[in-house]
Structure 1
Amino acid sequence: MLTFEELGLKPEILKAILEIGFETPTAIQQKTIPHLLNSKQDLIALAQTGSGKTAAFGLPVINQIDSNSKKTQSLVLCPTRELAIQIANDFNAYTKFSNRLDVLPVYGGASIETQIKALNRGAQIVVGTPGRVVDLIKRNKLKLEDIEWVVLDEADEMLNMGFKDDLDFILSHTPESRQTLLFSATMSKEVLRISNNYMSNPEEISSGKRNQGADKVDHFYYIVKAKDKYLALKRIADINPDIYGIIFCRTKRETQEISDQLVADGYNADCLHGDLSQAQRDAVMGRYRKKHLQMLVATDVAARGLDVNEITHVINYNIPDDLETYTHRSGRTGRAGKAGISMAIIGPRDVNKIKQLEKVLGKSFTKADVPAAEAVIEKQLMSFVDKVKSTEVDEKQMEPFIENIAAQFEDLSREDLIKKFVSVEFNKVLEYYKNSNDLNQAAKPGRDSEKGDRRRKEGNFNKLFLNIGQKDNLNAGTLLGWINGLQSVPNGIEFGKIDVQRSFTFMEVESQHEQTILDALNGSEFDGRKVAAEPKTGGGPRKSNRPEGKRHSGGGSGFKKRGGDRKPGGRARVKAGSGGRRR
C-alpha cells in the first residue's frame, strides 16, 4: 500500500493532511492522485460517497495550482450548496501550510454580489453549484479562459437533479485544453453522454464495481404490516440508542409527518424536504452536523449532496423504486473506512424488490426481526446505566449537598435505591412497551405492499398516462423528485405505483388530487421536453375533448387516439387492464 509521501505530494500539503488525521490513502486516492500528478489525461472515477474522493481530486489539483496567479485555474461543480461549502472547507484545510490559495464557494441562496466581489479579488479555485456558476458566467464575472481543471463531483446526482443543460453550458465555456475529472457513484447513460461529449479519451478508475454500494455497509430488511411501519421504526431507533441516522421517505408530507411524530414521542429528530426555506434548511443541517440531532427525516431530493461523516444508520422508510436511489441512500453511511448499516422497512409483498437489489448490487441483504419489547427495554436500560457510570462528577461542587442527600436515602437498601433510581428514568419506557405485540410478518408473493393493495381496492388511486419515459432519462425516483419540486404541486399528495416504459409512463395518484397533478404536469417541461398527461381507465386513457386523431401537445409525444386503446409511437398496443407492464 502506498503512503501519501510516496504519492508525490508537496511537503506543505503532507503536513496539512497529517494534521487533519489522514494516515494512509484510500483505494480511490491511491489510484487517482498519481494519475492526476503525472498525466493530463481526462479521468472518470467511480467512487461511493465517503470513499475519500474530495481528497482524491483536491490534493493533486492543489499540488499543481500556481499560487502566484490570481486567475481562476480550477472549477469544481457539485449538486448542492452544502457540498460546495464542505468541499471548500476541505480545500482550505489542505492548503493550511501552503502559499496563499483562495478557494471560493459560490451557490444560490446567498448574495451574488458578495460572491462577485470575492471573484474580483481573485480566487484560484472556485467550487460551485451549476445554477450559480451559470449566472456568474452570464454576468461575465466568472472567467473560465484560464481553467486547467474542471471537476464534476457527484455527476450522477447533478444530472438527476436536472442540471444537464447547465453542465453543457458551463463545459462549453471552458478551454478545450482543460483536464476534466468526473467523479460519480454510478455510471448512468447521462454520465456517459457527458463523458462522450466533453472528455477526451478518459482513463476510468474505480474503487469498486459499477453501481455497487459501499463495501462496509451491511444491509438489512424488516417485514411488517403497513400500519406497523412507524412502530417498527421506533423500535429500531430504541434498540440503537446511539443512532446517528437518516430516515428516507418518499414524499414531503410523509417526511414532515414522520418527523413530527418522532418529536412528539420524545425522539431527537427533525426533517429536511423541499418545502423548507433555505434558512430553515441551513438551521436543520447545522444542528445535524453538530450532532444536536440524532435522526434526520428526509426526501431523496432534499438530501442530495448531503455530506456528513459518521452516519451510523440509513433507514429506508419506503424502499425506493430504482437501484441508483438506493445506492445513493446507503452511501450516506459506511464512509471514510467506517462500518455502516442500511435498513429497509418493507411490506410482505416487497421481498422481490430486495432480491432485485441483491442481484444488481451483488450484496446480500439480511432479513432481520423487529426487536421484541423485552430486548428494547434491556438495551435502553443498559445504555442508561453506561451513561450514568461514565458521567464525570464534580466533587467540589457536590460536596456541600452529599450529607443531606445521603440522609434522605439512609432508610433504603442498596437494591431499593437502584430500583427507584432506574424507575425514575424507565417507568415511561416500561409502560409503553407493556403488552407490546410482535410486529414481524412473513413474506408474501406479489409486487405490491399491503398498503398499496388496500388503497387500490378501495379505489383511492387513479392512473395517469404521461408522454415521457426512459428515453427521456426518466425513472421513478427522478419523476417523483421532479413532481415534488414543481411549485404548483402542493405538499402532501401521495403517489402509488409508477411504471416507466421506454417512451411513456403510467403513474398512480390519489384520486382527489388527480386534476391538480394534471394541471401541474400539462405544459411543464422535463429535461427540455414539454410534458403531456391525461387520465387512464380501463383499456386506455379516458376520452378527452381533443379532436379525433390530433396529437397531444408537448413536442410530439407520439400517442394517437385510436378507439379505447393507445398505440405508443407505433409500438405494440397497451392491453386493457395490463397497466402497460411487460409480462
Structure 2
Amino acid sequence: MKIKTEIENAIKEMGFVDLTDIQKQTIPLLLQGKDVIGNSHTGTGKTAAFGIPILEMIDFDDHTVQALIITPTRELAVQIKNELTKISKYIERCRIVDVYGGEIITRQISALRKKPQIIVGTPGRILDHIRRKTIRLENLKYFILDEADEMLKMGFIEDIETIFNETPENKQTLMFSATMPKPIVKLAKKYMFEPEVITSVGNNLTNADISQYYYKVKRENKTEALYRLLNIYRPNLALIFCNTKAKVDSLTEELIERKINCDKIHGDLPQTTRLDVLKKFHNGIIDVLVATDVAARGLDIKNVEAVFNYDTPEKADYYIHRIGRTGRIGNLGYSFTLVSKGELKRILEIERITGTSIKRRNIPTYEKVMDVKSDKFIEEVKTTIENENLEKQYATLNKLIQAQISEDEIIVALLKLLNTENDSSITKEDINETFENRRRNNQDNTIRFHLNIGKKQGLNISDILDFVRSKVRITAREIQDIAILTEFSFFTVPNKYGPVILKNCNHKKLRGKKAIIQVSRKRR
C-alpha cells in the first residue's frame, strides 16, 4: 500500500509500526472507492483506518467540503479532528474544522469561512450549519458515520437521514458500528452502494489484552478499596467510572482529600471545562479521571493503563465500552470492578454476555499499601538527590541542626509530616467481603422459564422485563438471571409467580412473535 510521503512521515512520528486489523481491511477498500461497513469496537484504530485513505484521496487544491465525519459526541469529534490534524501535519493546504453543540456557533462559522475540506461534527450542529448554509455538501466525496449504533441509541437517526439527503448520490460512504441493530442495517441498505462488510471484533466482546478483575467489597468501603488499588498498581493514567453524576462529584472530592491527582467529567459541566479536563488528562497533567459513561463516550486516550468501575455497570455494553478505554491497539491494560452485595448478579451477566471470565481478587491490606507507598517514597527521594538542586533545603537543614535537633529526629519528623492523612476517612482493617449471589443460594425457591424468542428477533433484557411486568404484578428485581441467546431466552422468578406467568404471558406478542413460555429443565 503506497501512500503520500507527507502522510507516511506523519504516521511514523505518531509511532505507527504495524497497521491494526481494522486498518489493514479498511484502507485498501476505501482507496478502491468501495462503500464499507466496519463492525469494530473502540480502541482498534478506526480514525486512522478512514483518516489515512481520505487524506490520500482528497484534492487539497479544491476549497469545498469533500469529507464529512459524523460522531455521537462532542468529545469524539474533537479527538477525531486532533488525530486527523496529526496525520495531515505535512499536508500544507489541508484544513479541518470540528463543529458541535455547546460552543458559540459564531466561532464555528468563522472557522468554516476558511473553506475546510474536512468537517467533523455531531449530527445536530451539522444540521444547524446546513440550514444556515454555512456548510454546503454539494461537492462531498466521502461520508463517514462513526459509532453509528451509539447515534441510534441517542436518537440521532432522523438527523442522520436528513443529512444523507443533503449529500450527492455519487459519494463514498463508510459506517463504523460495534453492533448492527436493525435500524442501522436498514440505514446501510438505503444509503450505501454494495458495501463491503468487515469485522474486527473477534469471538469475545472484550479485548484479550485487558486483565479483568473484580473485588467484593461493601459500598461504604469502596473509596478505601479504590485508594488501595491505585496505590498498589500505580497506573500512569487511570479512568474511574461511576453510574451517576452525583457520585462522580463526591468521589472526586474524596480522592482529592486523599491527595490523588484527579479531576472529573460529566454532562452537567460546561463544554469548555470538559474539553479542558480531557486535555489535561491526555497530556498527563492529571493522572486520574472520574467520569460517567455518557461523558466518556468516544474518549480516545491511548495510554490509559487501568479502568476502575467504582460502580458496577448496569449493562454489559457499558462494561465493554468502559474497559475498551484501556488495552488499546496492542497495549496491555487492567480493568478493576468494585462489587457490592446487590451488584454481584451484574458481574455474572457481564461474563455471560461478553463471553469472558472476570477473575476475583482480594483488596490489598492496609499494611501492604503502606509498604508500597514507602518503597515509592524511597525511589522518589533517590531521584531527587540525583537530579535536583538542593542548596536551599541544605540551608534549612543547617538551621535545624543549629537548633540542636539531631538529623535522625529531623528525618523522622519530616516523614511524619509527609505521611499525615485524615485517619477518620481511612479503614485499616480487611475490607474484603464473602457474600454470594442470592440467586445461586435460593434456586430451590425459584422457577426458571424458557422463552422462544432471542437475539435473532432483537430481544433485549428490557423487553423481557417490560413484557412480564405488563402482564404480572412483579418487580423488575424479582425477574432474575436473564439469559438471551440467538433463538431463545431464559429468565428466573420466585415460585409464587410461576402459574400466573404461564397463564398471562403465554401466546402473547413479543417483538412481533407469539411468545411460548415453558418451565425450563433444572440446571445442574
Aligned partners of 1:26 and 1:51 also within 8 Å? yes
1:51-450 paired onto structure 2 within 5 Å: 51-209=44-202, 212-348=205-341, 350-391=343-384, 398-399=390-391, 402=394, 405=397, 408=400, 419-428=412-421, 436-446=428-438
2:4 is matched with which residue?
10
Aligned partners of 2:204 and 2:356 also within 8 Å? no
Greater shift in the superposed pair: 119-128 or 354-363: 354-363
Change (3 A) 1:94 1:245: same
CA distance in 1, matches of 2:504, 2:278: 48
Aligned partners of 1:247 and 1:317 also within 8 Å? yes
Task: Give the gaps of 5 or more residues in structure 1.
Answer: 1-6, 449-469, 476-498, 508-533, 542-563, 574-579
Aligned partners of 1:246 and 1:297 also within 8 Å? yes
Letter in 2 for 1:248: F
CA distance in 2, matches of 1:252, 1:349: 20
Confirm whether residue 571 of structure 1 aligns to residue 493 of structure 2.
no
1:31 is matched with which residue?
25
Aligned partners of 1:157 and 1:304 also within 8 Å? no
Change (3 A) 1:356 1:68: same
Aligned partners of 2:243 and 2:293 also within 8 Å? yes
SS, match of residue 391 in structure 1: helix
Superposed displacement of residue 329, structure 1: 0.7
Aligned partners of 1:8 and 1:34 also within 8 Å? no
Deviations 1:387-408 (A, max 9, x none): 222226677x534663662574
Letter in 2 for 1:269: C
Query: Identity rate of aligned residues, in percent?
Result: 36
SS, match of residue 215 in structure 2: strand
Aligned partners of 1:247 and 1:296 also within 8 Å? yes
Change (3 A) 1:128 1:406: same
The structure with the greater share of residues assigned to helix is 2
Letter in 2 for 1:323: A
Superposed displacement of residue 122, structure 1: 1.5
TM-score (norm 1): 0.72
CA distance in 2, matches of 1:139, 1:165: 19
SS, match of residue 501 in structure 1: helix
CA distance in 2, matches of 1:360, 1:540: 23
Superposed displacement of residue 234, structure 1: 2.3
CA distance in 2, matches of 1:372, 1:433: 16
Change (3 A) 1:83 1:210: farther
Greater shift in the superposed pair: 74-83 or 158-167: 158-167
Change (3 A) 1:505 1:48: same
Aligned partners of 1:187 and 1:210 also within 8 Å? no
Superposed displacement of residue 312, structure 1: 1.7
CA distance in 1, matches of 2:252, 2:239: 11
SS, match of residue 151 in structure 1: strand
Aligned partners of 1:33 and 1:56 also within 8 Å? yes
1:522-533 paired onto structure 2 within 5 Å: none
Letter in 2 for 1:19: E
Superposed displacement of residue 581, structure 1: 13
CA distance in 2, matches of 1:139, 1:433: 55
Change (3 A) 1:300 1:540: closer
Change (3 A) 1:211 1:403: closer
CA distance in 2, matches of 1:434, 1:121: 56
TM-score (norm 2): 0.80
Confirm whether residue 500 of structure 1 aligns to residue 462 of structure 2.
yes
Two-structure CA RMSD over aligned residues (Å): 3.6
Change (3 A) 1:228 1:403: closer
Superposed displacement of residue 140, structure 1: 2.6
Aligned partners of 2:472 and 2:504 also within 8 Å? no
Aligned partners of 1:350 and 1:447 also within 8 Å? no
Letter in 2 for 1:36: L
SS, match of residue 296 in structure 1: strand
CA distance in 2, matches of 1:329, 1:184: 16
Greater shift in the superposed pair: 93-102 or 180-189: 180-189
Letter in 2 for 1:23: V
CA distance in 1, matches of 2:217, 2:384: 38
Change (3 A) 1:292 1:399: closer
SS, match of residue 121 in structure 1: coil
Aligned partners of 2:224 and 2:427 also within 8 Å? no
Letter in 1 for 2:10: A
Change (3 A) 1:124 1:412: same
CA distance in 1, matches of 2:39, 2:54: 18
Change (3 A) 1:165 1:421: same
1:498-577 paired onto structure 2 within 5 Å: 500-501=462-463, 504=466, 538=473, 571=508
1:577 is matched with which residue?
none
SS, match of residue 246 in structure 1: strand
Deviations 1:239-276 (A, max 9, x none): 23345222212222222222232233433333222222
Letter in 2 for 1:125: I
CA distance in 1, matches of 2:518, 2:266: 31
Greater shift in the superposed pair: 44-53 or 148-157: 44-53
CA distance in 2, matches of 1:9, 1:264: 51
CA distance in 2, matches of 1:94, 1:286: 19
